[in-house]
Amino acid sequence: MGKTMRNLLLTLRFLGGRYCGFQVQKNGLSIAEVVQDAAEAVLGHRPPIKGCSRTDAGVHALGFGLSLKTDNPIPAERLPLAMNAHLPEDVAVAACVEVPEDFHARYSAIAKEYIYRIHNSPCRHPFWEGRALRHGPTLDVAALNEQAADFIGRHDFSALCSAGSSVENRVRHVQSCRLEREGELVTFTVVGDGFLYNMVRIMVGTLLDIGSGRIPPGSIPDILLSGDRRRAGHTAPAHGLYLSRVFYPGMDTGSIVNERS
């Protein structure tokens, strides 16, 4: 008789600056690789892991969902501390819960929340170096929120998808999307049922280009309708982007770890 196979959902936090992204790649260290190393050290076998998303090189996470199967009987609540002892400083498991056998960190996700942090100041801030995009000219957050509202809804987001994506259906539902200012820090928060390649970074780049006058206000509906990547704004750099939470039926990784920042 085999031992019972368990399915575990781990919530991961990481600073992505040193990594080539979540997925294992030939050139460069991936988040998946260091997580598998730690899982192997604790569980005694190297489990395949399912990530909620392929994050790009340099992207950070506050509530990344990851599932793995194991027959090791370690209590779920002990796994974070046990694995953290084997993870580098910039990656940590924040929580672990047992989930049904057919749960999959990616396919079970019903929505995701990303945030993009902008340090809106002409002066460098050591605390946000590598953790927020620095943007000198003062952003008019109220005016940009009027623009950002045009992203909300079910649209074909082809115009906000970088070349290189093989995804065919590019219709996504953006449920909410707004900017908030707290002192010099402007945070863009977007929730949607799915995101195309670089979509959040192009949303941010488009808003910044509207702010700087490179793209006229009111253009977003036309940009979406055009389906033309060249009409949208630039791709904002990776180091401001955070996968902040993943929503699963009945729970989300943000509420599991009870903290967003």
CB nearer a second copy, residue 30 or residue 198: 30
Position 256 contacts a second copy (CB under 8 A): no
Backbone angles phi, psi at 7, to 5 degrees: -115, 125
Q: Which residues in the 43-82 window bind a second copy by CB under 8 A?
A: 62, 80-81
Contacts of 144 (CB under 8 A, 6+ apart): 179, 207, 210, 211
Tokens of 206: 């488009």
Residue 138: other Cβ atoms inside 10 A: 13
Q: Please choose, out of 157-165, 171-179, 214-222, 253-261, the segment that lies near a second copy by the rule CB under 8 A.
A: 253-261
Position 125 contacts a second copy (CB under 8 A): yes
Q: Which of 8, 9, 13, 239 binds a second copy (CB under 8 A)?
A: 13
Residue 68, beta-bridge partner list: 8, 49
Position 204 contacts a second copy (CB under 8 A): no
Distance of closest approach, residue 205 Cβ to a second copy, in angstroms: 24
Position 137 contacts a second copy (CB under 8 A): no
Q: Which of 92, 143, 152, 251 binds a second copy (CB under 8 A)?
A: 92
How many residues form the binding site for a second copy (CB under 8 A)?
A: 32
CB nearer a second copy, residue 65 or residue 80: 80
Q: Which of 126, 164, 213, 249 binds a second copy (CB under 8 A)?
A: 126
CB nearer a second copy, residue 42 or residue 257: 257
Position 180 contacts a second copy (CB under 8 A): no
Quote the Cα angle for 247-28-66, to 5°: 20
Position 93 contacts a second copy (CB under 8 A): yes
User: Taking a C-beta distance cutoff of 8 angstroms, is the pair 125, 119 a contact?
Assistant: yes
Q: Which of 71, 98, 129, 180 binds a second copy (CB under 8 A)?
A: 129
3-class secondary structure, 137: coil
Q: Which of 25, 72, 84, 158 binds a second copy (CB under 8 A)?
A: 84
Give kind and range of the element (H or E) at residue 221: helix 220-226
**Spatial separation of the C-alpha atoms in residues 233 and 30, rounded to whole Å:** 29
CB nearer a second copy, residue 165 or residue 255: 255
Closest of 207, 201, 208, 210 to residue 240, by C-alpha: 201
| Catalytic residue flag (residue 56) | yes
Tokens of 259: 């903290």
**Helix crossing, 141-148 with 199-211: angle to 10°?**
130
Instruction: Report the chain's C-alpha Rg in angstroms.
Output: 19
**Spatial separation of the C-alpha atoms in residues 242 and 200, rounded to whole Å:** 10
Position 169 contacts a second copy (CB under 8 A): no
Catalytic pick among 37, 56, 90, 252? 56
Residue 220, beta-bridge partner list: none
Indicate which residues carry an active-site annotation.
56
Q: Which residues bind a second copy (CB under 8 A)?
A: 13-15, 62, 80-81, 84, 89-95, 121-127, 129, 131, 182-185, 257-261
